[in-house]
Amino acid sequence: MDRIDCPYVVRFLGVSWTKPSDMMLLTELMAGGDLRQVLESNQSTNHNHQFTWHDKVQCALHIAEGLVFLHSMDPKVIHRDLKSRNVLLDADFNAKITDFGIARETDDATMTAGIGTYRWIAPEVLLDGHYSESADIFSLGVILTELSTELIPYSDLRNDKGNVYTDTAIMAKVMAGELIPTFGA
């Protein structure tokens, strides 16, 4: 992490611990909170939106720039768990990617293992198949739908009986290529 120096990736400062099992990473302060918190707050402001479309576009561009940087490294860094909770904002809504707990450097063409948060994760990762940096791009697309709707992905979908889809049903449909998140009107 110390070799990642990008304005769109949260800066790693060091580590702290009182005993080895309590080790914590120290990063720069991002006072605006995570993107999911900001979107939820924006919904509850009674149409007095503080997080404007200009801010949302800027956020999307910052995330994309962060991914370009990570994917351009040698070896490439694939985040593998990109979601709105892993995008932090400063007080001016500048966005940075964080949480590299399951990120992986790759110097070969084979990335496998179903790791990440399922509502944001690409079908090929859920299927435990071959994947590449395109899995992060899929997750970015899901975040773009969140920026549009301000909703958690798939939370607005209902089955034939009008019920909310279960987590298992959502995963199965995403894996089968039958479900993709939708943009707002």
pLDDT tens digits, 77-109:
888 889 999 999 999 999 999 986 544 444 443
The CA distance from 105 to 68, in Å, is 14
> Residue 164 has what DSSP assignment?
B
| Average pLDDT rounded to a whole number, residues 11-15 | 86
User: Structure pTM?
Assistant: 0.85
| Domain annotation covers residue 8 | no
CATH number of the domain to which 79 belongs: 1.10.510.10
136, 79 contact by CB (below 8 A): yes
| Domain annotation covers residue 84 | yes
Q: In 3D, which of 9, 37, 15 has the Cα closest to residue 99? A: 9
pLDDT > 80? residue 130: no
pLDDT (tens digit per residue) in 42-59 = 887 665 668 999 999 999
- DSSP letters, 146-157, are HHHH-S-TTTT-
Pairing of strands 33-34, 87-89: antiparallel
Structural domain tally of the chain? Answer: 1
| Domain annotation covers residue 9 | no
| Domain annotation covers residue 24 | no
| Domain annotation covers residue 183 | no
The catalytically annotated residue of 34, 81, 99, 136 is 81
| Domain annotation covers residue 115 | yes
Burial 47-79, CB ≥16 within 10 A → b, else e:
eeeebeeebbebbbebbbbbbebbbeeeebbbb
The CA distance from 102 to 67, in Å, is 15
Catalytic status, residue 81? yes
**Which residue segment(s) compose the domain that 37 sits in?**
31-175
| Domain annotation covers residue 25 | no
| Domain annotation covers residue 86 | yes
User: Helix 134-149 to helix 35-43 angle, to the nearest 10 degrees?
Assistant: 20
